[in-house]
Structure 1
Amino acid sequence: MAGLRRAAVLAATLALLGTGMAPAYAADPTPDLIPPASTTEPDPSASDVPVGLLAKAPAGSPASYLAANGADGAATASRSFAVGESDLAAGTGSISGTITALAYTGVSSPLTSAWVAALVWDDAAGDYVVAASAYGDPVTGAYTIPDLAAGDYVVVVFDEAPGSPLIAEFYEDAQYIEQATVISLADGEVVTGIDEQLEPLLKGRIAGADRYATAVAVSQSFAAGVPCVFVANGLNFPDALSAGPAAAHCGGPLLLVPGTSIPQVVKDEIARLAPERIVVAGGTGAVSAGVEATLRTLAPQFARYAGADRYDTSRKIVAGEFGTTGALWVASGANFPDALSASAAASAADIPVLIVPGSSSALDSASANLLTSLGADLVAIAGGTGAVSTGIESSIAKLPLVADVLRVGGATRYDTAFKIMDLAWGYDGATAVYAFFASGENFPDALAGAPFAGLIGAPLYVTPASCTSLSVQQQISDLVVAEAYVLGYYQSQLYYEGGKPFRTC
């Protein structure tokens, strides 16, 4: 059985290149959230999406990375891997280290059931093969892989304990073989200190001391020299609802300010990012002229989208940043829950969110004119009729270029949130290495997280403070998510319960 599990895990090492971004993580400043290149377009025929523009293109097949549900879960991988010991000549070199495990309690301890393999490229096989392997010490977790010839090796580690929640990894903290740190051995060389820690699915938090610092913690995943930084008021939500997808479209983060000042942590982050331009969402009542004056000194270009009200500002952001689009989300600007999830889904699909006065009996003429000028033939409405009226839906359907109007709503904000994510990620072939969780009771963390989640192709689930639904858990499994992160400190504890990564609502 152990051999079958090894084969299953090693079957999941399809090489895909990443973009080089690494996220900020409260307990570990450099976790390995590097997305792969997108290689596959969504298949609209495989889902209920009338047009695939609302769906995030998958990052690859489920075989692209080590599976998320421990060694047993890797059996979902579809690629054959040249398992079995290599026929390559043995040598006198070795690789050694210690394997530890991060428990759900956050405590690290020796992993006493680890199996570690040194992989080497075999030209004859046209694949990586196992050059040699070893078990970790049942007490200390230490291992030594002996008899290695001179060459370049990639080390892979997984837990052999049946049903283990720990996620297999390549050295160093990598889910993709192309992310792995290559270990080069000379003839007879002994390389020590190749240590690895395996973690459960829910790896930890990306968080700061407050909403502004949490947005910065997310932003630190972006490398310096970003095309843009969007700035919005962190005390109110309307302007940021459209700013998040616009930031993702531009390729930069969304940072928050109190309105009349810039926290030093935000100022320092903008200086580090060295953006080509800074874009403010909202008028001077949302982000003051004094803040603008400071922001203008931090980038070569500056822009502000300011309208007569939140809806006019939203229209200006969408028109200014997207120009044209085949699809978009429409959400109520009177409240934030539905629009939070729409912002995350839109960021992933690289389309905008337009907020409207949802209780109106019909779509206003300015929004109707914008939808026509955008050229969108598919409009998705976030929320039920209590959020966005049937009159608005009917008005959208009558626009000359709109071919499909799709309403996504549920009995609760969390039901709606999942259905929105399911629309973006629930079709056959969708995969995601990473996933994020944010509060459905407050808006800042989800708004700041949406651009980064969208940019790296990760779903962002808006959930209650202490649990997730079975539907969310099933989708996490279906997507073969390997690392999940909580944004902010909104809940009192992580979702661990009874040895499972999530407490069920």
Structure 2
Amino acid sequence: MAPAPMAGLRRASVLVASLALLGTGIAPAHASDLPSPELTPRPAELVDAGDDTGLRAAPREGTPAFYLEGGAGGADAADGGIRTFAAEGSSDGTAATGSISGRITYWANGVSQGGLATGVAVAVKWDDVAGEWAGYTSAEADATGAYSLTSLPAGDYAVLAYDDLAGSPLIPEFWEDAQHISWATVTTLADGQAVTGVDEQLEPLVKDRIAGADRYETAVLASQAAFGEEVPCAFVATGANFPDALSAGPAAAHCGGPLLLVPGTVIPPVVLAELKRLSPERIVIAGSAAVVSSGVETTLKGIAPVTRYAGTDRYDTSRRIVAGEFGTAPAAWVATGANFPDALSASGAAAAADIPVLIVPGIASTLDSASAGALTKLGAKTVAIAGSAAVVSSGIQASIGKLSTAPQVLRLAGADRYATALAIVRFVWDGQSSIYGFSASGSNFPDALAGAPVAGWLYAPLYITSEYCTSLGVQTQVTELGIAEFFVLGKYQPLYYNGWQPFRSC
């Protein structure tokens, strides 16, 4: 008969519940069924944005259904959070003799640190009758990090590894590198079978930096992290300036592809290779031939059909992108096109909510007729303004409120660009959870531009922060969202640990 779950299993159960790692009703997903991208979007069908503004983060439709419902603390920690199996024997009634073994290691300060002596492995078994996962047994690691889960009957198992050290910053994971059981690699155990090599390396919150040699390679690496082959679209914009890409980022997420950057007159080899890997159904150029040349367009046509959105100025280009890619939308963001910080935050928020960003001449006393027409045709019932009245005037806000569609008008603003960025993320993600989080510099634009569609597609917040530190407000919000993997975009921000400290505080 199988042994009763150890005390370590109960501790793991509480931990699992607090991170919303485990749920019911999701059948095993075997390795061959898992999606190919390194990072996986959350499916729309399991998420309710929870308000009627249309501004809340909303995962893309049609993404893999490998994500579990529930938020932080969703299970009842008082009884361990997950049901545990009663003792169970093998199929012929004899004592179960199957086993799963491996090694728990850990990573810190950018280096693999070897075996985790305080590691615990938990065998979580699929119950066909109950139609849910349940904890079965657990085992503590030895001094080298080795563990062995024994006396296991035949069945499907997911193995959870965690650090039993009080206050550990290491994030629990299922095998292999999965924060949710529905993403785990499932081990199917026959009667008496011994499975070895189920190894897991635990990592702290700040997992990695996504950064290339320059802004163009960084955008490529961000694309590779989120998007597989044969995407519906890929957007291309100049990396030398920001206006055209501000609206292009949310549009790229809307159609299911990345935003890649080019210098203007040539396509860097790394970008060309990524476009060929993506094999998009179409390529969209944001901006005129003055910023992305006709020669670049000719080269792109050799990969896929090309659409170009080019207006008489940055504002006209923005209007064309919004009209051409969205048509209509339940909500929209408005930001100044004269500078980038607030619009960067709006782009990430819009991409997450699957709505557009329209840039306007922010210091004008009223909304110009062309922008008013664009918002009216969009039919947005809510319009959010990114930034204070110093960047998007109170006259423009009043003009938006007088549109024939009578939208609700909100303004998200803080004392500076970073406070505005946090206010936007807090509003969009209020009451929700996310597995991933991203940050990019607020003093430079390229990495955040390319990061917006990636973060939006992955249902993840994009924090615009200082190059040197992260505010306590951002750190608190990262904790509240239950983010398990945090990525720094670009080489402008420090990947800071200070032992186990994930962020340098402002």
Check whether TM > 0.5: yes
Q: Report 1:99-114 matches (<5 A).
A: 99-114=104-119
Residues of 2 paired with 1:399 and 1:255: CA distance? 34
User: 2:281 — aligned with what?
Assistant: 276
| Distance change (3 Å), C-alpha of 1:245 and 1:63 | closer
Deviations along 1:172-209, whole A, 9 cap, x unmatched? 11111111111122332222111100111111112211
Give 1:308 shift.
0.5
User: 1:468 — aligned with what?
Assistant: 470
Are 1:425 and 2:429 matched, yes or no?
Answer: yes
| Distance change (3 Å), C-alpha of 1:346 and 1:42 | same
User: 2:12 — aligned with what?
Assistant: 6
Which secondary structure state, in structure 1, belongs to the residue aligned with residue 414 of structure 2? coil
| Distance change (3 Å), C-alpha of 1:76 and 1:217 | farther
Are 1:202 and 2:201 matched, yes or no?
Answer: no
| Distance change (3 Å), C-alpha of 1:64 and 1:167 | farther
Give 1:35 shift.
2.9
User: 1:54 — aligned with what?
Assistant: 55
User: 1:348 — aligned with what?
Assistant: 352
User: 1:313 — aligned with what?
Assistant: 317
Give 1:409 shift.
1.1
Q: 2:445 aligns with which of 439, 443, 446?
A: 443
**Contact 2:41-2:59 within 8 A present in 1 as well:** no
Counterpart residue identity of residue 41, structure 1: D
Which secondary structure state, in structure 1, belongs to the residue aligned with residue 111 of structure 2? coil
**Contact 1:66-1:167 within 8 A present in 2 as well:** no
Residues of 1 paired with 2:468 and 2:79: CA distance? 34
Which secondary structure state, in structure 1, belongs to the residue aligned with residue 149 of structure 2? strand
Deviations along 1:412-456, whole A, 9 cap, x unmatched? 100000011111012x3x111111111101111111111111112
User: 2:400 — aligned with what?
Assistant: 396
Residues of 1 paired with 2:217 and 2:410: CA distance? 36
| Distance change (3 Å), C-alpha of 1:75 and 1:131 | closer
Are 1:495 and 2:490 matched, yes or no?
Answer: no
**Contact 2:47-2:69 within 8 A present in 1 as well:** no
**Contact 1:414-1:464 within 8 A present in 2 as well:** yes
Residues of 2 paired with 1:4 and 1:150: CA distance? 22
User: 1:373 — aligned with what?
Assistant: 377
Give 1:56 shift.
1.1
| Distance change (3 Å), C-alpha of 1:3 and 1:134 | closer
| Distance change (3 Å), C-alpha of 1:259 and 1:79 | farther
User: 2:180 — aligned with what?
Assistant: 176
Counterpart residue identity of residue 399, structure 1: L
User: 2:121 — aligned with what?
Assistant: 116
Deviations along 1:237-287, whole A, 9 cap, x unmatched? 000000000001111110000000000011011111111100000000110
| Distance change (3 Å), C-alpha of 1:411 and 1:20 | farther
**Contact 1:338-1:416 within 8 A present in 2 as well:** yes
Which secondary structure state, in structure 1, belongs to the residue aligned with residue 334 of structure 2? strand
Specify every segment of 5 or more residues in structure 1 that has no aligned partner in the other structure, as ranges: 24-29, 45-50
Q: Which moved more, 1:314-323 or 1:81-90?
A: 81-90
| Distance change (3 Å), C-alpha of 1:321 and 1:20 | farther
User: 1:82 — aligned with what?
Assistant: 83
Are 1:237 and 2:239 matched, yes or no?
Answer: no
Counterpart residue identity of residue 39, structure 1: L
User: 1:41 — aligned with what?
Assistant: 48
**Contact 1:20-1:34 within 8 A present in 2 as well:** no
User: 2:3 — aligned with what?
Assistant: none
**Contact 2:337-2:362 within 8 A present in 1 as well:** yes
Are 1:407 and 2:414 matched, yes or no?
Answer: no
**Contact 2:438-2:486 within 8 A present in 1 as well:** yes
Which secondary structure state, in structure 2, belongs to the residue aligned with residue 225 of structure 1? coil
Q: 2:97 aligns with which of 83, 87, 92?
A: 92
Are 1:253 and 2:253 matched, yes or no?
Answer: no
User: 1:134 — aligned with what?
Assistant: 139
Counterpart residue identity of residue 265, structure 2: T
| Distance change (3 Å), C-alpha of 1:376 and 1:58 | closer
Residues of 1 paired with 2:397 and 2:133: CA distance? 54
Q: Which runs of 4+ in 1 moved over 6 A?
A: 72-79
Which secondary structure state, in structure 1, belongs to the residue aligned with residue 46 of structure 2? coil
Give 1:116 shift.
0.6
Are 1:225 and 2:226 matched, yes or no?
Answer: no
Which secondary structure state, in structure 1, belongs to the residue aligned with residue 482 of structure 2? coil
Give 1:109 shift.
2.2
| Distance change (3 Å), C-alpha of 1:52 and 1:87 | farther
Q: Which moved more, 1:86-95 or 1:399-408?
A: 86-95
**Contact 2:126-2:155 within 8 A present in 1 as well:** no
**Contact 1:39-1:58 within 8 A present in 2 as well:** no
User: 1:387 — aligned with what?
Assistant: 391
Are 1:147 and 2:151 matched, yes or no?
Answer: yes
User: 1:337 — aligned with what?
Assistant: 341
Which secondary structure state, in structure 2, belongs to the residue aligned with residue 83 of structure 1? coil
| Distance change (3 Å), C-alpha of 1:167 and 1:39 | same
| Distance change (3 Å), C-alpha of 1:162 and 1:5 | same
What TM-score results when the alignment is normalised by the length of structure 1? 0.90
Q: Report 1:153-164 matches (<5 A).
A: 153-164=157-168
Question: Equivalent pairs: percent with the same residue?
Answer: 56
| Distance change (3 Å), C-alpha of 1:403 and 1:175 | same
Residues of 2 paired with 1:123 and 1:21: CA distance? 24
Residues of 2 paired with 1:34 and 1:140: CA distance? 35
Residues of 2 paired with 1:321 and 1:462: CA distance? 25
**Contact 1:152-1:184 within 8 A present in 2 as well:** yes
Residues of 1 paired with 2:74 and 2:125: CA distance? 24
**Contact 2:9-2:137 within 8 A present in 1 as well:** no
Which secondary structure state, in structure 1, belongs to the residue aligned with residue 456 of structure 2? helix
Which secondary structure state, in structure 2, belongs to the residue aligned with residue 53 of structure 1? coil
What TM-score results when the alignment is normalised by the length of structure 2? 0.89
**Contact 2:204-2:500 within 8 A present in 1 as well:** no
Q: How many correspondences in the alignment? A: 482
Give 1:127 shift.
2.9
Residues of 2 paired with 1:74 and 1:101: CA distance? 27
